[in-house]
Structure 1
């Protein structure tokens, strides 16, 4: 894939993986539309790309607002032309145990993590001319229930299931619907964790893995494999094996 010939729409690009991805794509000559709620961070990101071979264009957006997603994509199409690849990366995370279970926090996690992707998918389907790939950033936390990630992991499991269910229909329209399932990545979100995160990688490393995966057609991009394959193994364990392992963690 020639990145320089592609127009991207990155949603959730103000920090973490999205920010690093936007910069790497612009450095390779891509035309990158970036969206997030933090307009100031997007403006700074746009400025960082001024000396690069590609461009970053800021389109502030609260992706939990369905109608605004449509409006922003119309604006992107007018200014940059059709989007070829969209990466839906908006997300929030809050560690949660039974002791601090909070329904309002759970609602926010599902609204941002799940509905943002759904709203953007609808907008993209209405403006699908030229669209080749849509990638939804889920997480290996969506493979199976994990301590501290009951709400977050459930939202990511919903995204994986959503993409699995709609992938055949997208393919019939000539669009690859895919998921990105990272392990632990050093971002403002994971900074909330107080435990040692195995196989922790930087956001820049994660962005490189995603760009490398864009040239493939597999349903899933997952990294770092030295960690994610262990999670895949846990995914297939029967409950009578899985829960005793989980109980040892005792968050």
Structure 2
């Protein structure tokens, strides 16, 4: 038995992608469009969104800043004026910076929390009433495998993604009994503009297209926790259950940091 409704046939389904201008979001948009989905694309960069929308006359472009509550409400209102319902909302917007303890600043912490965590909460507050009103639909929150264990360079990013995982678990407990599907997506290293900032070798690095395919496969299975690539994410899941003394030694040994 799956955790959620299995999302397999995308023909005519209404999907709202937030953070769709680049990376995994753009790749997911291309694959969903090819499968017949009707898309709404959101993010801060309107030009990038329109490039992803290309010549798709049915695709809606709704620019927004995820840290602004009013932007969410305005975009939701515009969407519901055009669509009869929403089948799936995917929140992919996020930011990343490699941060060690001695590099932490209040400004950086505030920015990362606002984008990666509060943006997800603001978006959830905006869309859940609509999903409950229509009595169906699903929501997918993109976190990260980096949120499972503490890792060097992930001081703030990992903390925000751990919070998204916790948020998604509680969201599932609240919404699944009411007929709403809830998914959390935990990628490993994916080649995007954000990971291009890393100056270290990234194990099991995959493309944005591979990540998008893994997300669609997880949605088709009805998974709650969609994590990939498995050769990396399963090892991190195991590491999260190690005794701290062993895990801390292993983390330093593997990363060299």
Return the TM-score normalized by structure 2.
0.92
Q: Name which of structure 1's ranges 84-93 and 164-173 shifts more when overlaid on structure 2.
A: 164-173
Aligned-CA RMSD value: 1.3
Structure 1 position 132 matched with structure 2 position 137: yes
Q: Distance in 1 between matches of 2:100 and 2:256?
A: 10
Q: How does 1:1-251 map to 2 (within 5 A)?
A: 1-47=8-54, 49=56, 55-128=58-131, 129=134, 131-248=136-253, 249-251=255-257
Aligned-pair CA distance for 1:80: 2.5
Q: Report if aligned partners of 1:136, 1:178 keep a CA contact under 8 Å in 2.
A: yes
**Alpha-carbon separation, structure 1, partners of 2:136 and 2:71:** 19
Which is further off, 168-177 or 29-38? Answer: 168-177
Count of residue pairs brought into register by the alignment: 247
Q: Is the 8 A contact 1:93 1:152 kept in 2?
A: yes
User: 3-state DSSP class of the match of 1:4?
Assistant: coil
Q: CA deviation at 1:5?
A: 2.6
**More relative contact order in 1 or in 2 (CA 8 Å, sep 6+)?**
2
Would the aligned equivalents of 2:142 and 2:185 in 1 still touch at CA under 8 Å?
yes
Instruction: Give per-residue Cα distances to partners, 1:24-61, cap 9 Å, x unaligned.
Output: 101111001010000111111111546xxxx4321101
* Unaligned ranges ≥5, structure 2: 1-7
Maintained 8 Å contact 1:179/1:219: yes
1:72-106 CA distance string (max 9 Å, x none): 11111111331110101110000011232222111
Aligned 8 A contact 1:23 1:49 in 2: no
Contact 2:67 2:114 in 1 (8 A): yes
Asked if the contact 2:101/2:155 (under 8 Å) is kept, the reply is: no
| Structure 1 residues not aligned, in runs of 5+ | none
Runs of 4+ in 1 over 3 A off after TM superposition: none
Check the 8 A contact 1:5/1:30 in 2, yes or no. yes
Quote the offset at 1:151 in angstroms: 0.5
